[in-house]
């Protein structure tokens, strides 16, 4: 079990002055401000709808809200920086005004979009590319001094399917984290969260291999985010659809908690919060 690890993971994040304790796993709710996200029910294209969804997720127990205006599903259409910014910033501003207590994460690989969102009131940067698709991202994070989610991916959302080839997926992802984190640390970035990037340039067997060894990433002593919500690795295995993948998502999230996940990134907050509550109770009685 994760509690028996010899490694002491960093257990707090400083989100613009709000200290977040990750010793009890937290839930991050997904709000997609894009018309072509893979899970249709997560799309919130109208500002008022996005604000309503934010309130609903906060009420259900989300600690973070992850806002994305660029679809990163395999083969998604590329959009301009301007279009991404125009979609994103009004929603960030509206949520900040309505729910000033909300901790907002921005799902973008573009440094200029990230900076604009942070200046509008967001708190974290969630970069699917780990700084590989924008050379300015790491320096921007260091200058803004905000938590950074470092995800593993190869290529781009448009090319990653063709790049899902590994001799040893765990070793490649682990070494990637070491190399990228060293650069962040050298720049003075204090709060880094790791994300193995389930489904990003990975076949289902690669994702499950990483899930099976999730606890081994504790050697890096950094918090771990797991984002498997309704993904193909689940519904493909079960021969269902994303719409029918909630039960499978809860199973995988529970396994991730048992293996040391600190943040669950999900479409369905209530179910994830319940999984965390049950896991915490089991740990309390061990």
Residues serving a catalytic function are: 231, 265
Query: Which residue is it, tokens 């960093």?
Result: 10
**Among the listed residues 179, 96, 184, the one whose alpha carbon sits nearest the alpha carbon of residue 148:** 184
Report which secondary-structure segment, H or E, holds 218: none
Report which secondary-structure segment, H or E, holds 7: none
Query: Which residue is it, tokens 């990163």?
Result: 72
CB 109 within 8 A of CB 133: yes
Query: Which residue is it, tokens 């010793």?
Result: 23
| Both tokens assigned to 68 | 């994305």
User: Positive or negative CA dihedral for 116, 98, 90, 13?
Assistant: positive
**Among the listed residues 162, 177, 176, 197, the one whose alpha carbon sits nearest the alpha carbon of residue 72:** 197
């Amino acid at each position: 079990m994760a509690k028996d690890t010899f490694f002491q993971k960093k257990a707090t994040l400083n989100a613009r002055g709000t200290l977040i304790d990750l010793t009890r796993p937290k839930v991050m709710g997904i709000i997609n401000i894009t018309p072509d996200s893979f899970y249709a029910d997560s799309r919130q294209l109208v500002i008022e709808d996005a604000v309503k969804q934010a309130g609903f997720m906060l009420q259900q127990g989300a600690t973070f809200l992850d806002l994305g205006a660029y679809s990163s599903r395999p083969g998604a259409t590329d959009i301009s920086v301007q279009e991404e910014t125009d979609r994103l910033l009004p929603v960030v501003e509206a949520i900040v005004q309505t729910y000033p207590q909300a901790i907002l994460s921005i799902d973008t690989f573009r440094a200029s979009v990230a900076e604009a969102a942070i200046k509008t009131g967001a708190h974290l940067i969630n970069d699917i590319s780990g700084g590989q698709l924008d050379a300015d991202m790491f320096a921007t994070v260091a200058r803004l001094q905000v938590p950074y989610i470092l995800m593993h991916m190869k290529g781009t959302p448009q090319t990653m399917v063709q790049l899902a080839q590994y001799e040893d997926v765990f070793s490649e992802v682990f070494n990637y984290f070491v190399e990228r984190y060293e650069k962040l640390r050298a720049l003075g970035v204090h709060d880094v969260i790791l994300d193995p990037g389930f489904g990003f340039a990975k076949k289902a067997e690669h994702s499950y291999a990483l899930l099976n060894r999730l606890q081994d990433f504790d050697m890096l002593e950094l918090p771990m985010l797991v984002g498997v919500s309704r993904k193909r690795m689940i519904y493909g295995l079960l021969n269902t659809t994303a719409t029918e993948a909630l039960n499978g998502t809860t199973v995988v999230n529970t396994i991730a908690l048992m293996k040391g996940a600190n943040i669950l990134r999900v479409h369905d907050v209530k179910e994830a919060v319940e999984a965390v509550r049950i896991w915490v109770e089991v740990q309390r009685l061990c």
